[in-house]
Amino acid sequence: MFYQVEGDILLSKACAIVQGVEINDPMDKGLALSLRNQYPDMCKDFNRWCHQHNTQPGEAWLWTGTNNIHIVNLIIQDAIDSHDYHVHKATLNNVKHALDALAKIILKEKITSIALPKLATGSGDLDWDDVWPLIENSLKATGIPVYVYIAYHPGHKAEESSN
């Protein structure tokens, strides 16, 4: 069940919010910055996890915070070059593998709904028409509501069906 909605993803009532990131991402732009500001421990824990594991693009990492907040970080871009902070672009292959990893997390953790932005279309520089079918193909077997925020409207709660 896929729903394209407009609004502020931070106001979503979905069980988990999903975002696309890089390995060791500083989370200093867009949705990542908003989530880092709201949940600073998530960013610290993510970077600690990246340093402790041989983290690769195409993986997904679930963070659970206080009040049972779930954020899934999809690693869709390569590592940041620390010398000049070069942002690497996402690849469709990384997005597909990360979405497949997300589907496994959803089933394992019994997540009942997710909200995600137009993955990889901002700093990832991919075309939405190429990304959307990957989302549908990777997540259709989960059978849960997937709310895709196709337009951001700050402070506006999207119309989401019951979870």
pLDDT per residue of the chain (163 residues) written in tens, 0 to 9: 999 999 999 999 999 999 999 888 889 888 999 999 999 999 999 999 998 988 899 999 999 998 889 999 999 987 555 555 555 788 999 999 999 999 999 999 999 999 999 999 987 889 999 999 999 999 999 999 999 999 999 899 998 875 4
Whole-structure pTM value: 0.91
Whole-number pLDDT of residue 35: 94
Whole-number pLDDT of residue 80: 52
Whole-number pLDDT of residue 25: 86
Q: What is the CA radius of gyration of the chain?
A: 15
Residue 22 forms beta bridges with which residues? 77
d(C-alpha 57, C-alpha 18), whole Å? 15
Full set of structural domains in the chain with CATH? 2-152 (3.40.220.10)
CB-based contact 19:163 (threshold 8 Å): no
Q: Token pair 């019994």 is at which residue? A: 110
The amino acid that residue 67 corresponds to is N
Whole-number pLDDT of residue 19: 96
d(C-alpha 144, C-alpha 147), whole Å? 10
Residue 154 forms beta bridges with which residues? none
